[in-house]
Structure 1
């Protein structure tokens, strides 16, 4: 039996780092990816750091080539950027497109590049870290965040479409309002609790859950 391998993007800080730490502590082999390896500090366990910019297709393709022939059981598309937090008046084309590139196109390109690796794995799960902010039914509030909301809504339909088209398990997951740099000072969910919850949802996911949208407690979220 091969050792479970988990590839995590944006693993150098926040939720991605905590997921990498917890998976490694549980005995998994972790491919921890981030743009700048100089920003990565050691994590105990079988953790291999790899350079990856999910906003750059060449970077994604290069890593897939480097890992050619390897099996990946779980791919966690965690890397994201917030984008401008203002309202419509603050909307800028370059910021909007950059946010879409990282938050929506990046995960799609990761799946495209790593389908052969996932096919070799036993679990064959892709967990897209989304957000309730991308839910049309539940994600509206007074904040702006046009780029972020649109990018996560697009990621949600991408998850459902991937599940429709391919025989793997694809999940859209809301981690909660997590106490990280991105979540901000008012965030409510400790990063350890969010990571534990996400891992629990991933660990119990079967084919019947593919294409679904849940939060870190396992509660379904309306599209």
Structure 2
């Protein structure tokens, strides 16, 4: 039975990843910040870990909690959007720190702990956003979020050069009907996750470090 770790599984896309992986016969470790979410994930059939990616001390406990575990797939889903302002409004330090810490520093602190647990030939997948594409930028809306995802993309690309035993990928989930995406978003979590799992299943080692849409289309950096 293959084993996956879903970091940020309390709701939305992370919860749907957990559900579809369990349905597909995977053993799933799922993380969340609060006890209520952990209980829901346990009722779904996942093994759970309490984790807050914005707290270094919480990240530090993950290694010993998963000591000896061998992963086929590590999914980094946790993240926040932050203020929706554009370049005509300066972000506060608090807002900038919140978004960058959750979306970039958390992943960078988790990588050295989690990636060595991934088996040779396993996969490490990070949810980013098309909004982090520099080449594709056509608006400044949500510019703090855009900057954080561009930074995450670089962090993942750099890590793929360090850890050659696993295949890395950055995925854009589409505009999804979640708390972050809102009710007017174009696709359901079910469709987004099904598409991404299909992309993940087809990823080849020579494609490590690539940036793709949920339907597999390559995206520009």
Q: Name the counterpart of 2:63.
A: 64
Q: Name the counterpart of 1:208.
A: 206
Normalised by the length of structure 2, the TM-score is 0.93
Q: Name the counterpart of 1:14.
A: 12
Q: Name the counterpart of 1:99.
A: 99
Q: Give the RMSD, CA atoms, in angstroms.
A: 1.5
Counterpart-to-counterpart distance in 2, 1:200 and 1:43: 25
Q: Name the counterpart of 2:36.
A: 38
Structure 2: give runs of 5+ residues left out of the alignment.
none
What is the number of equivalent residue pairs in this alignment?
218
Q: Name the counterpart of 1:183.
A: 181
- Say which is worse superposed, 183-192 or 45-54, in terms of deviation: 45-54
Deviations 1:41-92 (A, max 9, x none): 1466641121011111221120211111111111100000011111242511
Q: Name the counterpart of 1:169.
A: 167
Structure 1: give runs of 5+ residues left out of the alignment.
none
Q: Is the 8 A contact 1:21 1:44 kept in 2?
A: no
Counterpart-to-counterpart distance in 1, 2:219 and 2:171: 9
Normalised by the length of structure 1, the TM-score is 0.93
Q: Is the 8 A contact 1:27 1:45 kept in 2?
A: no
Structure 1 stretches of at least 4 aligned residues deviating more than 6 Å after TM superposition: none
